[in-house]
Amino acid sequence: MTQNYYFLGIGGIGMSAIARYFKSRGFVVGGYDKVRSELCAELESEGMDIHYQDFVELIDEEFLNPDNTLVIYTPAISQEHSQFQYFRENNYKILKRAEILGEITKTSNELCVAGTHGKTTISTMTAHIFKSSHIGCNAFLGGILLNYNNNLLLSDSDFVVIEADEYDRSFHRLSPFMAVISATDADHLDIYHTHNEYIEAFEKFTSLIRPNGALVYKKGITLCPKLQSDVKCYTYSAEEKADFYADNIRAGGGKLIFDFVTPNNKITDIQLGVPVYVNVENSVAAMALAWLNGVADFEIKAAMSSYRGVKRRFEKHLQEPKIYIDDYAHHPEELASSIKSLKMLYSDKKVLGVFQPHLYSRTKDFYREFAQALSGLDEVILLEIYPAREKPIEGVSSELIFNEITNPHKTITTKTQLLNVLKNKDFDVLVTFGAGDIDTYIPDIKKFLTDWQ
């Protein structure tokens, strides 16, 4: 009988939610991660034993019995990892994160949010709406929802909100009751090889939606849903009429307000708690899931107003003496959308962006698109690539992006030299972008800006 759960890559945002789930149910939980991040420190404070070096002898003795310990790993862990090899050679039961998540949630009404980008914001919005309503929910999220300072929500509700990750076809392990697909722009081509193969993975995902469920997808994306019988299909949009869409969008005085149009009614004057333009579209998807499942109109409206956002999703850290925002954007479309929102919000200010590319393979596939998006900033600082799970690819570096940026106000540097470079820059708004470890520099950047002379 499993009594202990050991996580390889426990500090990952998806892994940590599952670790917290098992800890909340009284199991012994521990694991390994490469870096002692703020999230890892929080897990330690919650009673989990974590270490940060790949040595077998560091595994706590409680996890040394394969008969009562289940090992869960993230695809970011190398097959050559010493502890991974130890568990495999000693006949432990080893599951991927997606496999255990599918097992945990298969008897619930899964509300799954998938897509190349937008899924973290949509899933956290959905979770907050349900959690704030008479229905309630559980949630396994891909970001820290600031309303609860957590990526795991638990309740007695039959509903569970899940951020459905397409990497390594992980979302094929889920059994959605309802699903959102926000985008099918090419990504993870190290796994899928072609854009068509990537799209086919999303189409396979739609075939997993249970009868009497529903699919809600962004109008105009490349997708041919393969739905079982009795699964309803809806579109959503912020730009044009669809089954669910935003109408009468208006902005001013730091507020962003619109009307939410459903197939048979309208909820007027929705005010976004995080007034960023891209969140209009994201909120339409989240509200569609809530509306389809019986959340009351007044509950939807109140929840959207009280939604505080997600850590590292356009998260504002300082207002003065300089505005400082951190954003997880790591795909060209995400980057372009974030920069568009920045230019709308701060049209009269000089915006300096610091971008840390994530993965050699993604840089190789999209360096021109990254450069095009970054060229829209007033000034760009480019850092070295964060490799995550990958080994270097010959000829691939941040210089590929740097050379394609058309904005002449550009600099390339290292993380360790970033603060020295910033000393000589003139800007009103600083934004750090990336899915790597740029967030570990946030405290230093905040102190540097606070002491700005």
Q: Given a cut of 60, is residue 453 above it in pLDDT?
A: no
Q: What is the mean pLDDT of the chain?
A: 92
SS3 state of residue 325: strand
316 or 85, which is more confident? 85
β strands within 238-298, DSSP E: 244-252, 255-261, 266-271
CA 338 – CA 431 distance, rounded (Å): 10
Ramachandran bin of 382, using left for φ above 0, alpha for ψ from -120 to 50, beta for the remaining angles: beta
Q: What is residue 45's predicted lDDT score, i.e. its pLDDT?
A: 96
Q: What is residue 239's predicted lDDT score, i.e. its pLDDT?
A: 79
State whether the Cα torsion 297-259-263-141 is positive or negative: negative
Q: Residue 236: which of 272, 161, 288 has the closest Cα?
A: 288
SS3 state of residue 10: coil
Q: Considering the chain, tell me which residue range(s) the CATH 3.40.1190.10 domain(s) occupy.
A: 106-306
Burial 282-310 (b: 16+ CB within 10 A, else e): bbbbbbbbbbbbebebebbbebbeebebb
| pLDDT band for position 33 (cuts 50, 70, 90) | very high
Which residue in this structure is represented by tokens 């990537």? 198
CA 166 – CA 141 distance, rounded (Å): 14
Give, in words, the CATH class of 106-306.
Answer: alpha beta
Q: Given a cut of 80, is residue 190 above it in pLDDT?
A: no
According to CATH, the superfamily of the domain at 4-96 is NAD(P)-binding Rossmann-like Domain (3.40.50.720)
Pairing of strands 214-218, 176-181: parallel
Q: What is residue 360's predicted lDDT score, i.e. its pLDDT?
A: 93
What share of the chain in percent tops pLDDT 70? 98
Helix residue ranges, H only, 229-359: 278-292, 297-306, 332-345
CATH of 315-450, one of 1.10.10.10, 1.20.59.10, 1.10.1760.20, 3.90.190.20: 3.90.190.20
pLDDT digits (tens, 9 = 90+) for 211-261: 999 999 999 999 889 999 899 999 999 979 999 999 999 877 668 899 999
Residue-by-residue DSSP string for 351-409: EEEEE--B-HHHHHHHHHHHHHHHTTSSEEEEPPPB-TTPPP-TT-STHHHHHH---S-
Distance of CA 19 to the CA centre of its chain: 18
Q: Considering the chain, tell me which residue range(s) the CATH 3.40.50.720 domain(s) occupy.
A: 4-96
